Amino acid sequence: MAKEEMLEFEGTVTEVLPDGNFRVKLDNDHEILAYAAGKMRKHRIRTIAGDRVTVEMSPYDLERGRINFRHRTGGPVPGQPRRGGGNFRRR
């Protein structure tokens, strides 16, 4: 038996929940529960409310999904220090 093809949708993170879960509102106005993919956890890619994301969903369960891509925004990345301009000097 062949594996079913995953469905991909785009949406916006509306709420950050505990344990790496997110509430995502898809472009087709459905609200789902999604979790961050393993590669996103491994590389510590931060996802906050308001981020545009790509979600993979199984055709068997259309209420849960996996966030596999966070689209870039124009602003700075939260939690990352800016380079240069600091008060400390490297030795």
Query: In this predicted structure, which of 3-7, 21-25, 31-35 has the lowest mean pLDDT?
Result: 3-7
pTM above 0.95, yes or no: no
- What is the mean pLDDT of the segment spanning 8-31? 95
DSSP state of 5: P
- CA–CA separation, 59 vs 23, rounded Å? 19
77, pLDDT greater than 60 = no
**CA 16 to chain CA centroid, nearest Å:** 10
- What is the mean pLDDT of the segment spanning 49-57? 95
**Encoded tokens for 13:** 């993170």
58, pLDDT greater than 90 = yes
Query: In this predicted structure, which of 4-8, 77-81, 87-91 has the lowest mean pLDDT?
Result: 77-81
pLDDT for 85 equals 59
Q: Are 24 and 31 a contacting pair, CB within 8 Å? A: yes
